Amino acid sequence: MTSDARFQTHHAFDKKNRRFSFTVPRRYTKLKFLSAGAQGIVASAVDQACHNTKVAIKKMQNHFVGSKIARRALREFVLLSKQNHPNIIKFLSVFTPQETKDDLEDIYIVMEYMDLTLTDVIDAPIQLHHEYVSKFIYQTLCAVSHLHCQGIIHRDLKPCNLVVNKKGKPELKLLDFGFARLITPRVEEKMSAYVITQWYRPPEVVLGIQDLREYKTAQKFELAYSEKVDVWSIGCILAEMITGDVLFKGSDNKQQWQEIVKKMGIPHHYISTLDETIARSALDLASKVSLSSLDDVISDEFFPAEKENPQKFWTAFHARDLISKMLEIDPNHRYSIAQALRHPYVSSWNNELNDRREHAARIDPGYDGRLDEEELPINELKSIIFEEVKRIENSMDIFGGM
């Protein structure tokens, strides 16, 4: 609760009539439930202080139950607040109705509103034209390229974290920075394997998760990974946009590895480079599946002639070629974001301005990566989060003069 009269509590209801409370500045009215997840609840609202513009408000929850989740909350609003890219959701403000760090419970992020998630688009009964598939993947690559230029790995790319508009030219934007991470030599050695929603995890993450192995040892295995994890996830999303179905739909990490091998083949050379225990388990699981091929899964039936455009390389051949290069099991041989942007299936969207932007020098992300290297007490993290929220609050008029 808050004693500040400039805040007002609204209630939004989901389809099951569950009530969610939002305590927000009075400038925001007509709140409507949009979605709920483990880390937060999102509602749309009308901003009376900005020409009745529609916005999205995310109420972050459960962020003080542990230090990992608290750091995730901090990363989400700090990293997003520093972004300025047409394919990354626009940050508008962050605030808390609580007045002291001891009372801090709720953090709200205000963002621009977009009509649909990419999941909604994929689930629609009409097959996507390859012009839209190509453009949406290109825009995703541009957004992630911008992050990689800052040394940031997103680590949670999936259709529901990509949003699109319904009116005007089709535009796609990336959101949700809770799992994002700055890459430094120290951090790269310590990054958790428990990232990325299972169906979009690359092999180096799947194989780094403890429950994959049947051989019990006291040693903890975590395979090193890099920004190439984002490339794999985008390859999965591209395949899903074309077929309308998840490409690697494993029920657990063992089955996830088998689904990957089934469609992409057994990577004997890559497996030979792994720790012996991981390699034995990976080969044992791989030997139990019947192999198919990417051509079988993404067949020509998904490319009717009227939806292809050979002049712009929007064809079955080029789509499968890009997917296969982004889904290379060995990350050392997998496409980079820069290589994917130059691929014929998406390169027709390139222009000189975009090319300069996506190949820019490394940018300062404005986030202290040392927070991800240290195990700070939850109370200390809470103080850091409160001070950062208030710092951003004080840099803008969160009440809009109301």
What is the distance between the alpha carbons of residues 370 and 373, in angstroms, rounded to a whole number?
A: 5
The H-or-E segment that residue 41 falls in is strand 40-47
251: left (phi over 0), alpha (psi -120 to 50) or beta: alpha
244: left (phi over 0), alpha (psi -120 to 50) or beta: left
User: For residue 156, what are its two tokens?
Assistant: 């949670």
| 3-class DSSP string for 345-358 | HHHCCCCHHHHHHH
CB 69 within 8 A of CB 82: no
CB 136 within 8 A of CB 120: no
DSSP string for residues in 150-215: TTEE-----GGGEEE-SSSS--EEE---TT-EE--HHHHHH--S--S-GGG--HHHHTTSGGG-SS
DSSP string for residues in 62-114: STTSSHHHHHHHHHHHHHHHT---TTBPPEEEEE-S-SSTTT---EEEEEE--
AA identity, residue 110: V
First-residue to last-residue Cα distance in the chain: 19
The H-or-E segment that residue 29 falls in is strand 28-36
Which of the residues are catalytic?
A: 156
CB 64 within 8 A of CB 70: yes
DSSP state of 400: T
Q: Which is nearest to 108 in space by CA: 73, 35, 69, 59? A: 59
